[in-house]
Amino acid sequence: MSPALVATPASPQSMMSITNEHPVESQYQKGVKHLYEIGIRRVPLKYILPVSERPNQTHWKTHTTDGSLQLPVIDLSGLHGPRRSQVVRSLASACENYGFFQVVNHGIPNEVISNMMDVTKRFFELPSAEREKYMSADMSKPVRYGTSFNQLKDSVFCWRDFLKLVCNPLEDVLSHWPSSPMDLRGLAVTYAKETKFLYLMILEAILESLGLTTTKNTTADTDDQILSELKDGSQQMFLNFYPPCPEPDLTFGLRSHSDFGILTLLLQDEVAGLQIKHQGRWLAVEPIPGSFVVNVGDQLEIFSNGRYKSVLHRVVVNSSMSRISVASLHSLPSQSAVRPAEKLINQTNPRRYRDTDIAAFLHHIKSCDYQEKGVLESRKLT
């Protein structure tokens, strides 16, 4: 695992360049890495949250603990032997009670993980002019370097830069991926393929935990099409960079949100920052080297008819250390729809969600200002 990036003070020359005659307010769209590099000492207004929404205000303190949350840690090696049923039960419990879990012994080689973290670090160390070749506010682009999340709609930005890579079909998108660092494409392709395999392995076990499969690759009901779409959906990777923030109490790296897909697999360095909302409190997730944090997305909540919950989570920043992570988001194809699995609906557990076009999810994300779980809440029947 690559070491965290240590903050280094900006040079006196760069500090002197930030004057009243040359305010940084107009430069926020170049990203927070750029703002950090030019040596800002105050957070631009575009990144400052209302007082009641800031990380360390009383509004949050009543729901926050200083302790780290011990998420369920699931040893996936047990899926390949007589312990499979036990692991499947553990996954069911984690999805029901937390919406998050960490996986170890997942089968992805340490070299693949360390290479991906290293090339992510090197991409964000490129000169601004090189990174900005891929900068766009267009959320539909298959390759996009951006800041915050929705640059066209977000009234307040988040202290994060990212590189988005659409991963399928690889033969169509690979030539658009950054060619610098020179090994980024090769290392990211290997990582994308490994995480897709891991996603499918976890998904098979989750479908089994819902009673929709009896043994691996054997369907237990007639909804073959939706099961196939769950497995053959889209994959996007987000390479995330959170530089030191001069005033971390005024902003977030990512505001509270749920993921819109089926599952997200997150690889993070050793710098803490991820928090999830559990039983009304915001709790920090302690990084485990070499593990993946996995969380339930909105589409899986709908498909499971509410049995498995997508959970609000956020990222806090600090004033001294950078943080990097790589998120692999897996969802249904954009041309499909998600609905509760028929086998999970009965008199005691009535249908709880409307059918939802994946395109509607994506349109809502692109067209609206920040909302925690706007689309999902609108799809509930009760």
User: Which amino acid, one-letter code, is at 236?
Assistant: Q
* Domain-located, residue 7: no
> For residue 181, is the peptide bond before it cis, meaning its omega torsion is within 30 degrees of 0?
yes
In angstroms, the CA 295 to CA 293 distance is 7
Identify the CATH number of the domain in which residue 85 sits. Answer: 2.60.120.330
What are 242's strand-pairing partners?
323
Q: Using alpha carbons, list the distances in angstroms from residue 207 to 61, 71, 141, 241.
A: 37, 21, 31, 33
Task: Give 285-296 pLDDT, tens digit per residue.
Answer: 989 999 999 999
Q: How many domains does the chain have?
A: 1
* Domain-located, residue 3: no
Q: How far apart are the first and last CA of the chain?
A: 45
Taking every pair of Cα atoms in the chain, the longest distance, rounded to a whole number of angstroms, is: 70
Over residues 328-336, the mean pLDDT reads 92
Among 134, 156, 143, 136, smallest CA distance to 44 is for 156
* Domain-located, residue 9: no
Helix (H) or strand (E) holding 215: strand 213-215
Residue 248 contacts residue 55 (beta carbons within 8 Å): yes
* Domain-located, residue 153: yes
Task: Give 112-169 pLDDT, tens digit per residue.
Answer: 999 999 999 999 999 999 999 999 878 788 999 998 776 666 788 999 999 999 999 9
pLDDT at 219 over 50: no
Residue 318 contacts residue 218 (beta carbons within 8 Å): no
pTM value > 0.85: yes
Task: Give 299-313 pLDDT, tens digit per residue.
Answer: 999 999 999 999 999
* Domain-located, residue 1: no
* Domain-located, residue 237: yes
Return the SS3 of 359. Answer: helix
* Domain-located, residue 2: no
Sheet containing strand 323-331, edge to edge, reads 73-75, 100-104, 292-296, 263-268, 323-331, 234-242, 161-166, 143-147
Residue 226 contacts residue 303 (beta carbons within 8 Å): yes
| Count of CB atoms situated within 10 Å of the CB of 49 | 19
Task: Give 64-110 pLDDT, tens digit per residue.
Answer: 445 567 899 999 999 999 999 999 999 999 999 999 999 999 999 99
Residue 10 contacts residue 39 (beta carbons within 8 Å): yes
Q: Which domain holds residue 60?
A: 18-378
* Domain-located, residue 11: no
73-75 and 100-104: which strand pairing?
Answer: parallel
In angstroms, the CA 261 to CA 372 distance is 14
pLDDT of residue 373: 64
